[in-house]
Chains A and B, each alone.
Chain A
Amino acid sequence: MSETRPSDQPDEAMVDLLIKQVTEGLSPAEQRALDVLDSELASTYARDLERAAAALTLAGSSKGPPLPAALAQRLAQQAAEHFASRDQGADPRVADPGKVSDQRKVSDAEKAADSGKVADLGEARSAAADRARAQLSAAPRTTRNGAYGWLAAAACLVLAIIGWLRSPAPGVVPVANVPTPPRVEAPPIAPPALPTAEEERAALLANPNALKITLGATKDPAAAGVSGDVVWDSATQRGFLHFAGLAANDPAVHQYQIWIFDAARDKRYPVDAGVFDVPANAAEVVIPIRATLMVHKPAAFAVTVEKPGGVVVSGLEHVVALGKTG
């Protein structure tokens, strides 16, 4: 490993501040001190350190519990709200005075994002960040504040959001229903029914560009009588497994896990595409495939039996179904 040349290194005080900035944040006084030292070199160094911190964070990320369904739904609603408002040229938080405090608390991080310098924390440093911090300290702490004002704004956005939801091609699941504020009882508006996995699969099967392959049982005892197929669309990285005869599992004991072998990747490490369960008495199941990495050249799909929650790298000891392309 070669060392960086001294002339490329900021001085020690600056490095200390930059490291503190990317690991725990700076006090206003420290921020001012860093601004005084600010330079292109510091900006570049700050960006590199932030990427390094993010990489370490990923290297330490574990398979935790899945995102709660209710929270996922709120995220989808928030996204629908955001894009519908953006398309109308308005920021939903600005439209609602009750959300101004929330907008203020979107401080350093959001300013950095909005400035177009998501990958460059160094350049995002500015006196404005100090002002934002001052606003932050005065801002209410939770997003629930101003919720009633938000309700009123949400009602005004319903039509726009419904229009946005209808924009996908036929067969595509709408992302959200009707905007509601976080953890606030919503008015009793009946959401439109979401397509089932079976309906989504049928739509994908009708796509002439989608990959369709047959899954075969392996010699594993758990694979006896299993049959199924895969439909996969590389353009959208979406797909479904369809099974018959797969034994029901106890999620507390083991789960099924989907793997995609990508010809563009090391074949020892197929792409994790999610875990699933088969309920008792299920004659057939349709399972969405959720690849955790981009699949460039799908070569095969496999289903293994793994411990609850799945594994990062499978030993492929218990493969119950396998289907190869071509």
Chain B
Amino acid sequence: MLQRIASGDPVAVRECIDQFGPLVWSLARRLSRTPSDAEDATQEIFLDIWRSAGRFDASQGSDKVFIAMIARRRLIDRLRKTSAEPPMDPVEVLETIAWSDPGTASEISIEAEQAAKALAELRPEQRQVLELGLLHGLSQSEIAARLSMPLGTVKSFMRRGLIKVREYMNVDAEGILSEG
């Protein structure tokens, strides 16, 4: 689909909006300060997707991870600009956030399944730090304040979680390469 988008195929564009719109919208709502910001962010993210679709390399990961990476970059960029502003009222974000379980996350993407497996090996407080940082967009300092936890501990938990997922993804990639 992304290759077709790069060639300007309007059908692929519509499919992309249909398929990834809910994901991008969900992330934008979570990681934006206001509903209006979420709409602006969604438009910017999709413009990024149109501009970079031709560079998608399936050997580097799924299209969902590609889209999620683009979305995260844009949203982090925007959050930094608006960090002094109050966050969105939690009531505005109605959906419940919960980690997918290993076995079911494979329906989202292979990378989500790898992440779910890695999460299963972490302690609850480590998962909580990852949730606040990656899913709710809190900075490490904000997480430390929210959880009354030393900043060094937050950094340690964040590092451990990301490295654990990275290990799973790299090991799986090595396994696939060796099988090939």
Residues on A facing B (Cβ under 8 Å): 1-4, 15-16, 19-20, 22-25, 48-68, 71-72, 74-76, 78-80, 82-83, 86-87, 105-110, 112-114, 116-119, 121, 136-137, 141-143, 164-165, 167-168, 172-176, 182-183, 236-238, 266, 269, 271-272, 290-293, 312-313
Given A48-B170, A78-B43, A54-B65 contact (CB < 8 Å):
yes
**Given the known A-B contacts A1-B167, A19-B155, are A118 and B66 also in contact in the complex, defined by CB atoms under 8 Å?**
yes
- Using a Cβ–Cβ cut-off of 8 Å, how many residues does chain B contribute to the interface with A? 94
Per DSSP, are chain B's interface residues mostly helix, strand or loop, or mixed?
Answer: helix
Give the residue name and chain of the A residue nearest to B105 (CB).
A59
In the complex with contacts A1-B171, A24-B140, A75-B134 CB distance below 8 A: no
Most buried by A among B39, B99, B134, B171: B134
A56-B106 in contact (CB<8A) = no
Are B10 and A80 neighbours in the complex by a CB distance under 8 Å? yes
CB contact under 8 A between A71 and B39, given known A59-B105, A65-B94, A290-B19: yes
- CB-CB under 8 A from B164, the residues of chain A are 1
CB pair B112–A59 under 8 Å, yes or no, is yes
CB pair A119–B66 under 8 Å, yes or no, is: yes
Instruction: Decide if A52 touches B162 in the complex (CB within 8 Å).
Output: yes
> In whole Å, how far is A167's beta carbon from the nearest beta carbon of chain B?
7
Known A79-B46, A113-B52: A24·B108 in contact at CB below 8 Å: no
Judge whether A60 and B13 touch: CB under 8 Å: no
List 6 interface pairs A-B (beta carbons < 8 Å), by A numbering: A22-B76, A58-B64, A58-B105, A110-B51, A110-B74, A119-B60
Asked whether A272 lies within 8 Å of B134 as measured between CB atoms, the reply is no
Given contacts A25-B80, A54-B72, A59-B116, contact A182 B15 (CB under 8 A): no
Please, which residues of chain A bring their CB within 8 A of the CB of B17? Answer: 67, 72, 75-76, 79
> Could you say which of B22, B52, B133 contacts A114, with CB atoms under 8 Å apart?
B52
Q: Which residues of A contact B131 (CB under 8 A)?
A: 60
Given known A-B contacts A54-B68, A82-B51, A312-B107, A107 and B77 have beta carbons under 8 A apart: yes
